[in-house]
Amino acid sequence: MRGFSRREALRFVGATGLAAMATIPGAAQGSPSLPNGAGFYRFRLGDYTLIVLSDGQSAPGNAFPNWGANPGRQAEFSAALREHFLDPGQFINNFNPMVIDTGRVKVLVDTGRGQAGQLLANMANAGLRPADINIVFITHGHGDHIGGLVRDGQPVFANAQHIIGETELQFWLSQANPPANLVALQNRFTRVRGGAEIAPGITVVDTPGHTVGHLAVQVSSGGRTLWHLGDAGGHYILSFRFPDHYLGFDANPQQAVATRARLWQTAAAERIMVVGYHFAWPAVGYVRRAGDAYEFVPAFFTF
C-alpha cells in the first residue's frame, strides 16, 4: 500500500480526528499474537556480560495514579506521555531482572513475579539454567521482585547465595503479614548494607525511598560503570522529565525523589549506563540533562 501524503492523511482522519489521534490507537502493542524476540538482551560492559531477562509485560492499563501519584498532576503527566507517543490509558509495565556474568560468577538481580512471569523461560532462551546462578541479589521486597525466589517451598536458584539489604529484610520480616518468600529464605539470606561488594566489581548502592532499604546494583568493568536501578529508577519518562514526580508505589515519596535526583545527577555527569526494572524493553540506556530536568536515552539495540 502506498503511503499517505499529509493532505490525504488530513482528509482521511478529518479535522476532529486530529484531536482523537492524540490517543495514538496504534500505540497499544504487545498483542500475544505478535511475539517479538526471545525475551533477553545481552551486551558487554568491559569484561563482563550482562543479560537483561524479561519476566514479561503487564496487560495495557491506566498509567495513573500508580505511575504518577502527585496530586493534581495527572493531566500534565498524561500530556508528557502523549508527547512520547504513549497512550496513558494503555500503559504497559515491564519487569526486567538481569544477570551479570563476570566470567567466574553469575549474579541474578531480582527474580520477577514467579508463576505469573516468564523469567525462567527467557533465562532458558538465553542458555541459562536456574542451577547456573551463583548469587541472587534482591533490590527490595516487593512481590514483582521476590516472586521467583521460591517454588513449592524450595529455592528456585538452588545453588545460589541469596543476598538482600539488612534494613530491607528487617522491615519486611517485622510486618504483620511478611512476604512468604522472604520468610521461607530468611535464614538463607546474607544481609548487607549499602557499599558492600557482593562479587568482584559488583557493589550495592543505598537508594532508599521506593522502599525503606532499597539497594541498587553498581557494576564496574574495564573502566565502564552500569547501575541496575531496581525501582529507584521509577518511570522511564516521567521520573526524568519531572524532578518531583513520584510513584504510587514509592513508600516515602520525598525520599524517592531525592534519591532519583542524586542518581540522575551522577549518572548524567559520569555517563553511567542504567537499567530500570520497569523501563521499556530492553530498559538499557543513559541519562542526559534536559533543561532543569533529565531524559532517559535508550541505548541502541545491537545484535
Helices vs. strands in the chain: H and E counts, helices first = 8, 16
Shortest distance, position 15 Cβ to Zn ion, whole Å? 42
Q: Specify whether the CB–CB gap between 231 and 140 falls below 8 A.
A: yes
> In the complex with Zn ion, which residue's Cβ is closer, 111 or 122?
111
The yes or no reply on residue 144 touching Zn ion (CB under 5 A) is yes
Shortest distance, position 93 Cβ to Zn ion, whole Å? 9
Shortest distance, position 145 Cβ to Zn ion, whole Å? 6
Edge to edge, the sheet with strand 106-109 lists 40-45, 48-53, 98-101, 106-109, 135-138, 161-165, 189-192
Size of the site for Zn ion (CB under 5 A): 2
The yes or no reply on residue 110 touching Zn ion (CB under 5 A) is no
Rounded CA-CA distance 18/140 in Å is 44
Shortest distance, position 273 Cβ to Zn ion, whole Å? 20
> In the complex with Zn ion, which residue's Cβ is closer, 144 or 250?
144
Rounded CA-CA distance 83/105 in Å is 42
Q: Specify whether the CB–CB gap between 53 and 123 falls below 8 A.
A: yes
Shortest distance, position 296 Cβ to Zn ion, whole Å? 17
Q: Which of 126, 79, 75 is closest to 99 using CA atoms? A: 126
Torsion 26-28-31-37 (CA) sign: positive
Rounded CA-CA distance 146/157 in Å is 12
Q: What are the backbone dihedrals phi and psi of residue 241, each rounded to the nearest 5 degrees, phi first?
A: -70, -35
Judged by CB under 5 A, the chain residues 214 through 253 that form the site for Zn ion are: 231
The yes or no reply on residue 55 touching Zn ion (CB under 5 A) is no
Shortest distance, position 167 Cβ to Zn ion, whole Å? 18
Among 16-24, 137-145, 176-184, 201-209, the segment contacting Zn ion (CB under 5 A): 137-145
> In the complex with Zn ion, which residue's Cβ is closer, 87 or 144?
144
Among 16-24, 46-54, 141-149, 256-264, the segment contacting Zn ion (CB under 5 A): 141-149
> In the complex with Zn ion, which residue's Cβ is closer, 39 or 230?
230
> In the complex with Zn ion, which residue's Cβ is closer, 53 or 268?
53
| Amino acid in the structure at residue 97 | P
154-193 mask for Zn ion (x: CB under 5 A)?
A: ----------------------------------------
Rounded CA-CA distance 165/193 in Å is 6
Q: Which residues bind Zn ion (CB under 5 A)?
A: 144, 231
